[in-house]
Amino acid sequence: MTAMMTGTSNIKHILNILWGVVLLVSCQKEKAETLESRIVPTGILARINDIEIINDSLWIACAGNRESQGYFLQSLDGGVSWSHVSSPHPKSIYCIDFLPNGFGIAGGDFLDLWITHDFGQNWNFYWLGSQVPFNEEDRPGVRDILLVNDSVWTFCGGENLGEGVIYRTTNSGQSWNFSFHQHEFRSTAMSSQGEIVTAGHGKVISYATGLSDIQYSGFKDGFITGLSAADNNTMVACTFEGRIVNSKDGGMNWNETIDMNRYFRKRINWNDVICEGSYCTCVGTDGHLAMSYDYGVSWKLLKIQEEKNLISAEIYSNKIIAGDSEGNIHFIQIAD
C-alpha cells in the first residue's frame, strides 16, 4: 500500500512539474516585443480601411462603418494632419487605388464606385448601371481594387462569407466582365508572373488574361483578409484565424508559415498584410503586428502599446503606417 501511494505521489509530482513547464513556456511565448508608435487622429470615428501614399506629402485614405457612413481623407503633409469629406451616401468606403496620372477608384458598400482624376481632390460617383444585380441586397461591398494600367482595372468584393464578386474591364470602364461566387472575396494582387490573384473566405483564384480562364487553388481552410505580392516570386496572405501563408507559384499552392493562435492564448485576427521587397508585415487586433524579413517565411510577433484594432497598413520610410478602427493613423517604427 505504501509503495502504491509513493508511486502515485511521484506521478502527481512529475505531472505538476510538467504542467508548470507548459505554463512557463506558454507565458514566455505570449510576450511580444513592444514597438514605438505615434498616433495621429484624423478627426473621424470610423475604420481607416485603406491608405495610399502618393508621395512624401500627399497621402490619401478611405474610411467608414458598414452601411452607415463613408469618408475620403487627405493629408498634404505626410500624414501629420488630415482633412476629410463625407460620402453623400451613408455607406462605408473600403478601398482605393491610383494610377500615376492621378486617376483613382474607390469602392464601397453595395458595389458603389467612386472615381477621381486629381489624386482624390475631387470624387464623383461612378454607376455600373445594368452591370449590377437589380436588388441592392444582392450587391456585396467592393473590398479591393487593382488598377493594372490605363485600360485594365479589376476589383473584388463580398459579404457574409458566402457571396463574392470579381469585376474586370479592359477598356477603361466602358464595359465590364464579372463573375459571382459563393465565397466572400477580400483582397486581390498581381503575381510576379502577371497573373491576377484574388482571395477570400475559403477560396483563392487566379487568371492571366480574363475571367474565362480562372484557375482555382487548393486553398480552402481559412478566411484570407489580406494578400500581397513580395519579391522572390512569393505571395503572402494573412487570415482572420491568425494564420499567415505564402505561395511560390502564383497562388495555386499555399504553405502555412505560422499560426499565431496556436501559440498565443490571446486570440489574434489579422486584417491586412503588405510587402515591400523581402519585408512583409501583418496588422491585426489589440495592436498586434507580425514582421518578416525573408519574404514571409519566418515571422516575429510584435505589438504597439495601445490595444487598437489595426485595420490597414502601408510601408513608408522605414515605418509602418497603420489605420485603426477608431479613425487614427499610427506611425510605427520598424524593428531592426
Examine the pLDDT at 153 and tell me if it is beyond 50: yes
Examine the pLDDT at 27 and tell me if it is beyond 50: no
pLDDT value of residue 336: 64
Under the banding of pLDDT at 50, 70 and 90, the label for residue 32 is confident
Distance, CA of 193 to CA of 178 (rounded, Å):
22
C-alpha gyration radius of the chain: 22
Task: Give the residue-averaged pLDDT of 23-30.
Answer: 42
pLDDT value of residue 259: 92
Under the banding of pLDDT at 50, 70 and 90, the label for residue 5 is very low
Task: Give the residue-averaged pLDDT of 14-32.
Answer: 45
pLDDT value of residue 9: 52
Task: Give the residue-averaged pLDDT of 168-197.
Answer: 95
Under the banding of pLDDT at 50, 70 and 90, the label for residue 4 is very low
Task: Please give the order of strands across the beta sheet that includes 243-247.
Answer: 224-230, 234-239, 243-247, 255-259
pLDDT value of residue 196: 97
Task: Give the residue-averaged pLDDT of 76-85.
Answer: 98
**Could you read off the pLDDT of 55-79 as tens digits, one per residue?**
999 999 999 998 889 999 999 999 9
Examine the pLDDT at 18 and tell me if it is beyond 70: no
Task: Give the residue-averaged pLDDT of 11-21.
Answer: 43
CB neighbourhood size of 241 (10 A): 17
Examine the pLDDT at 242 and tell me if it is beyond 50: yes
Examine the pLDDT at 21 and tell me if it is beyond 90: no
pLDDT value of residue 133: 74
Please state, in angstroms and as integers, the Cα–Cα distance from residue 101 to each residue in 65, 107, 116, 119, 312, following that order.
30, 19, 11, 8, 24
pLDDT value of residue 25: 40
**Could you read off the pLDDT of 197-237 as tens digits, one per residue?**
999 999 999 999 899 999 999 899 899 999 999 988 899 99
Distance, CA of 146 to CA of 268 (rounded, Å):
27
Under the banding of pLDDT at 50, 70 and 90, the label for residue 14 is very low
Q: What percent of the chain has pLDDT over 70?
A: 89
Sheet strands (E) in 240-278: 243-247, 255-259, 270-276
Residue among 112, 114, 92, 93 nearest 104 (CA): 114
**Could you read off the pLDDT of 110-136 as tens digits, one per residue?**
999 999 999 999 999 998 888 887 677
**Could you read off the pLDDT of 160-169 as tens digits, one per residue?**
999 999 999 9
pLDDT value of residue 94: 98
pLDDT value of residue 11: 52
pTM for the structure as a whole: 0.89
H-assigned helices in the chain: 2-30, 260-263
